[in-house]
Amino acid sequence: MIVVAKIGTSSLTDDAGQIDDGAIGRFCDEVAQVRAAGHQVVVVTSGAIAAGVPALGFSDRPRDMVTLQAASAVGQGQLMRVYEQHFARHGHLTGQVLLAPFDFFERAQYLHARRTLMRLLELEVVPVVNENDAIADDAIRFGDNDRIAALVAQLVGAELLILLTDTPGLLTADPRFDDNASLIEEIVEFDQALEALAGGAGTDRGSGGMTSKLAAAKIAAWSGVRTVIAGAARRSVLADAIAGAAGVGTVIRPRSSRLGARKLWIAFAVPSRGTIVVDDGARRALTERNTSLLPVGVIGMDGSFDVGDAVEIVSAGGEVFAKGLTRMARTSLRSAAGKRTVDLALGQPDEVVHRDELVLVPS
């Protein structure tokens, strides 16, 4: 079985926010344990910024993006040295792989990344993946390492995604304020009430929190990959997650229908820059006939979006039912909205969103 195991900053740092050598050592022991059982493991790790902040002499985590990127550049090498030392105890080589959204969005990059990761596994090397935080500022702000882990799981054809955190999994309430909070052991479908339980980022040191883990679990579910959100401190957590042990964490079941990598990224990872409102006829064409969105069906818009930006597509009744990459900026679409193709100005695109770059938003 190919397993993707992601561990977050909060699970790799101490109370002072500095890298906890012992925590990484225990995690590497867990990985070695399941590798000895015959499984292949891709590690996705956070922690580069946490490693770089004290090295640069800062007592607190900086808030400006450029300094965070500098901290990541300094900390990445230090973080990898810790991984290398602990995996070496088990006789395992490590290979660093830094990924960015572009690597999943462009097919050529996607295939390059896949070939590299699969070859590392063939060579019995432990790939250690991290978001390329030194240049990917969105990841620092939105905790994309969870989403990266889900996309990596799809990339390598993993059967299981394990997201390790500082809680036992998704709980019914915040245990800091509710002593009766209990573990949600299984999720089959997502709804707003469930996602409301996730809240925001769990600690000042991390950037994701449970919200980004549920977003990652959605991506994995639509890739046909089972996800387990579990506590990093649990003994034999990776082995138990693989075995499907009861109470190991929150298990999110895969869906029977799947989305391709590009549409997964559009649906779940690219932030929307605006909305496009369409009439009932356009909605039926998109949902029933798998067509592209044409200007004639557009009846309204909101936000400031440009060519290539992601936009949500909304029904006349206000329901978001699709998302895609627009081929028109808002200024161009305003003049083209409601017009048939033959009436468009010379040089205007025939399509607002091409069907290959449009995905019906999974409920």
**Residue 140, pLDDT score:** 42
**Residue 142, pLDDT score:** 42
Residue 94 has pLDDT above 70, yes or no: yes
Residue 200 has pLDDT above 70, yes or no: no
Q: How many CA atoms lie within 13 A of 329 on its CB side?
A: 4
User: Which pLDDT band, with edges at 50, 70 and 90, does 205 fall under?
Assistant: very low
Residue 6 has pLDDT above 80, yes or no: yes
Residue 187 has pLDDT above 60, yes or no: yes
What are the backbone dihedrals phi and psi of residue 84, each rounded to the nearest 5 degrees, phi first?
-60, -45
**Residue 199, pLDDT score:** 64
Asked if 248 and 235 count as a contact pair (C-beta separation under 8 A), the reply is: no
Both tokens of residue 308? 């290539």
Residue 125 has pLDDT above 70, yes or no: yes
Average pLDDT over residues 224-252: 95
Q: Which of 78, 76, 70, 60 is nearest to 204 (CA)?
A: 60
Please state, in angstroms and rounded to a whole number, the distance separating the CA atoms of residues 188 and 253: 6
**Residue 197, pLDDT score:** 73
User: Which pLDDT band, with edges at 50, 70 and 90, does 144 fall under?
Assistant: low
User: Which pLDDT band, with edges at 50, 70 and 90, does 93 fall under?
Assistant: very high
Residue in the block written with tokens 């069906």: 297
Phi-psi region of 261 (alpha: psi -120 to 50; beta: other; left: phi over 0): alpha
Kindly report, residue by residue over 102-111, the tens digit of the pLDDT. 777 777 888 8
- Residue 85's CB is within 10 A of a number of other CB atoms, namely 14
Residue 58 has pLDDT above 70, yes or no: yes
User: Which pLDDT band, with edges at 50, 70 and 90, does 338 fall under?
Assistant: very high
Report which listed range, 86-90, 316-320, 348-352, is most confident: 86-90
Q: Which CATH class is domain 271-360?
A: mainly beta
Q: How many CA atoms lie within 13 A of 40 on its CB side?
A: 17
Task: Write down the mean pLDDT value for the chain.
Answer: 88
Residue 162 has pLDDT above 80, yes or no: yes
Average pLDDT over residues 272-296: 95
Asked if 234 and 240 count as a contact pair (C-beta separation under 8 A), the reply is: yes
**3-class secondary structure, 316:** coil
Going from the C-alpha of 233 to that of each of 167, 222, 288, 307, the distances in angstroms are: 9, 28, 47, 45
Please state, in angstroms and rounded to a whole number, the distance separating the CA atoms of residues 136 and 104: 13
Residue in the block written with tokens 């969103």: 353
The percent of the chain in helix, strand and coil, each rounded to the nearest 5, is 40, 20, 40
Residue in the block written with tokens 């205007």: 348
Both tokens of residue 134? 């030194």
Asked if 314 and 275 count as a contact pair (C-beta separation under 8 A), the reply is: yes
Containing 306, the helix (H) or strand (E) segment is: none
Both tokens of residue 192? 């707003």
Residue 16 has pLDDT above 50, yes or no: yes
Average pLDDT over residues 269-280: 90
Q: Is the dihedral of CA 49, 52, 58, 64 positive or negative?
A: negative
CATH fold for domain 2-263? Carbamate kinase (3.40.1160)
Residue 363 has pLDDT above 80, yes or no: no
Residue 143 has pLDDT above 80, yes or no: no
Containing 57, the helix (H) or strand (E) segment is: none
Residue 291 has pLDDT above 60, yes or no: yes
User: Which pLDDT band, with edges at 50, 70 and 90, does 121 fall under?
Assistant: very high
Average pLDDT over residues 180-205: 71
User: Which pLDDT band, with edges at 50, 70 and 90, does 362 fall under?
Assistant: low
Tell me the residue ranges of DSSP E strands in 13-66.
Answer: 40-45
Both tokens of residue 282? 């356009």
Domain spans of the chain, in order of start: 2-263, 271-360
Please state, in angstroms and rounded to a whole number, the distance separating the CA atoms of residues 262 and 22: 38
pTM exceeding 0.85: no
Residue 35 has pLDDT above 80, yes or no: yes
Same fold, 2-263 and 271-360: no
User: Which pLDDT band, with edges at 50, 70 and 90, does 319 fall under?
Assistant: very high
Residue 301 has pLDDT above 90, yes or no: yes
Q: Which of 271, 265, 226 is nearest to 358 (CA)?
A: 265
